Structure 1
Amino acid sequence: MSTIAGRSFSKIFAAEAGLMPVNVKKPLLKNIALLAAFCTAGCVQPVLAGPQQQNAQGHGKFEFALIGDVPYNEVDFWKLDNVIAEINADQQLKWVLHAGDIKNGSTLCSDEMFLDRLQRFSSFKKPFILTPGDNEWTDCHRANNGGYQPLERLSKLREVFYPLPGQTLGRKTMRVETQADDAQYAEFVENVRWKEQNVMFATLHIVGSNNALANFAGRTAADNEEVVRRIEAARAWIGETFAKATAENARGVLLMFQANPGFELAKGNSGRRGFEEILADLEREIVDFKKPVALVHGDSHYFRVDKPMLGAISKRRIENATRIETFGADDVHWLRVEVDPNSAEVFSVHQEIVETNLEQHPQP
């Protein structure tokens, strides 16, 4: 359960970054048809933010919205509608980030569920960037999830939510760099990166259930191989992101992924299984970078802003690493992240408590 600590600002950290060219792959015809099929009467044609808009050099202030672990329950769909309405009404927001888990862990992973979430997320007026969670593919082997083969659900998830590699969802879309542009990692359309006002942003496909290592009946060698390959891709994306940030004199980096990887746990703890290599890379890169880094995730359903990383060697707090965990599950609210590249901390976080979501469901 999340805890709500009030409506005060919690300053986090500051960063600055530049821009990068982005490449968009030619969409497959089936993906175009897929996207068109799920666009309801409420949808409008996507409007691409041009390079001069998205990648404008400078150090101006801007804001974006952050959500995660939502929607969890069908009875709370009306709460998500309220969140979407608030975000859509806010002209200051540039985009919406979703830290994964688009359903709870005890409901069907059906095609219909995927299409329902696509329709809901497509109603955001702003560019919408999603990183996958474990509930929508890793854990779909469970009987109450439909007994799916996880790798089949992962393939479907990519087909539905990343139909146009290098382009976001949302009524107004935005071009982003995708790891799929690298032939070595062609399937990783979900790992994306972009820069705004000299601030670097990237998503990483890192999920709960021990990063998909949790055992289940019917697990195959292919499931194990997928984990190895996805960790390899995440590590490569982390390295490239920090290399770009350093080369382009970025003042900070924000990384978003779904899993809580156990920052506070000691190395070798079972809670860090599936994350050890990634955590070691993050520690090294963040320490070498020396500038502020935000690590955004969901998973625990507990809103918090803290500094959980301890150096494995120094045993000291890594002060330039800040964790931002989203609201989630029963607490259907959102976070406003303000970005000021000229400030010492660049990012500040404000809890946006949706007052109507604290009430009982409206009676019909």
Structure 2
Amino acid sequence: MVQFRFCIISALLLVFFSAIVSAQSSGTESEDVKPFEFALIGDMPYANADFRKFDRLIKEINADQKLAWVLHAGDIKTGLSPCSDELLRDRLKRFQQFQLPFILTPGDNEWTDCHRFTAGSYHPLERLAYLRKLFYPQPGVSLGQSTMTVTTQSRDAAFSEFVENIRWKKNRVIFATLHIVGSNNGLLPFSARTQADDDEVKRRINAALFWIKQTFTEARESNAHGVFLLFQANPRFELAKGNDKRLGFEEILNLLEQESVEFGKPVMLAHGDSHHFRLDKPLFSSGAGKKHIENVTRVETFGNRDIHWVRVVVDPNSPEVFTVHKQIVEKN
């Protein structure tokens, strides 16, 4: 009889503790896949005439309690305006008005194109070094009045200069930035171009390829629900492979195609560069019967005179994971 009672009590305790563990697991899972939102901007502010509009955009984003962070897709000035220390410091000061964590990926206007006479006839590599020092003073920590910790590629001794390539995760979705810029990813010729400029492009492409591979590896190993990649350049998805105008992007696009297909879950590619909002399926599968890669979506930000922003809603429970909403700033 005693043994029977002991068995009954043991069984009840087992059921009780199993229920607790199950409830805790469900709670954790629920928290892991809770939806969240963030702001995406790019190609701004370009000129002094845009500052009031940009201030209104900052005010609107700061007032939105649903947002987790702000992403900027690069190009923080026009390609013809001065690349001076003063102008770059001005942009940093403006970005620091965002109360949320702020993440910037570099654009070509702020370093690659600084060789232009109107931009100050700087050497692009010198401007790149200054840009990294100014906008990434604490590698692995975002900008913004509230900061967040991220993983930076510069932790890898083989890519120690790439403080701007970062990765982080929230609610089982992986985010990463890639230093991919316009001007054919820095390949456009200019009179003072040297072998060092060519070497920089090769090294930056290799860093991006390695970072893409690592990002998707982490996504697969952690059973992530989706991957979001941010870069500046419009990599000319629409052009045929081998076209000279996408030479600087060819290896990257090929790898994105390969990794996205293998991952098989939603991938969002976000960039600026062309100055108009768009949302589409930019990648096509290789081989006969050219078809869209359906799990890959491209979102391009507003920019230049259109000082508006994009709300990205991330719902790990939904089949598409990422949904995009245009946010038009009143009076802009």
TM over 0.5: yes
For residues 311 and 351 of structure 1, what CA distance do their matches in structure 2 show? 28
Aligned to 2:235: 261
- Size of the alignment, in residue pairs? 302
Aligned to 1:119: 93
Q: What code does the residue aligned with 1:339 have?
A: V
Aligned to 1:304: 278
For residues 183 and 236 of structure 1, what CA distance do their matches in structure 2 show? 13
Whether 2:262 is the aligned partner of 1:288: answer yes
Contact 2:266 2:322 in 1 (8 A): no
Aligned to 2:324: 349
TM-score (norm. length: structure 2) = 0.90
| SS of residue in 2 equivalent to 1:249 | coil
Residues 13-38 of structure 1, C-alpha deviations (whole Å, 9 max, x = no match): xxxxxxxxxxxxxxxxxxxxxxxxxx
- Using the TM superposition, give the Cα deviation of residue 193 of structure 1 relative to its aligned residue in structure 2, in angstroms: 0.2
For residues 119 and 250 of structure 1, what CA distance do their matches in structure 2 show? 35
Structure 1 residue aligned with 2:315, among 333, 337, 340?
A: 340
Structure number with the higher helix fraction is 2
Structure 2 residue aligned with 1:178, among 152, 170, 188?
A: 152
| SS of residue in 2 equivalent to 1:214 | coil
Residues 52-99 of structure 1, C-alpha deviations (whole Å, 9 max, x = no match): xxxx96000111000000001111111000000000011110000000
Aligned to 1:251: 225
Contact 2:229 2:270 in 1 (8 A): yes
For residues 201 and 222 of structure 1, what CA distance do their matches in structure 2 show? 31
Aligned to 2:14: none
- Percent identity (aligned): 63
Residues 190-210 of structure 1, C-alpha deviations (whole Å, 9 max, x = no match): 000000000100000000001
| SS of residue in 2 equivalent to 1:95 | strand
Q: What code does the residue aligned with 2:185 have?
A: N
Residues 241-277 of structure 1, C-alpha deviations (whole Å, 9 max, x = no match): 0000000001110000000001111101122110101
Aligned to 2:180: 206
Gap runs ≥5 in structure 2: 1-29
| SS of residue in 2 equivalent to 1:209 | helix
Residues 284-326 of structure 1, C-alpha deviations (whole Å, 9 max, x = no match): 0001111110000000111000002112325211111100000
| SS of residue in 2 equivalent to 1:225 | helix
For residues 182 and 163 of structure 2, what CA distance do their matches in structure 1 show? 19
For residues 81 and 239 of structure 1, what CA distance do their matches in structure 2 show? 38
Aligned to 2:54: 80
Aligned to 1:320: 295
Gap runs ≥5 in structure 1: 1-55, 358-364
- Deviating beyond 3 angstroms after TM superposition, the runs of 4 or more aligned structure 1 residues are none
For residues 183 and 340 of structure 1, what CA distance do their matches in structure 2 show? 35
Contact 1:264 1:310 in 2 (8 A): no
Q: Which has the higher contact order (CA 8 A, sep 6+)?
A: 1
Structure 2 residue aligned with 1:274, among 243, 248, 254?
A: 248
Structure 2 residue aligned with 1:189, among 163, 168, 171?
A: 163
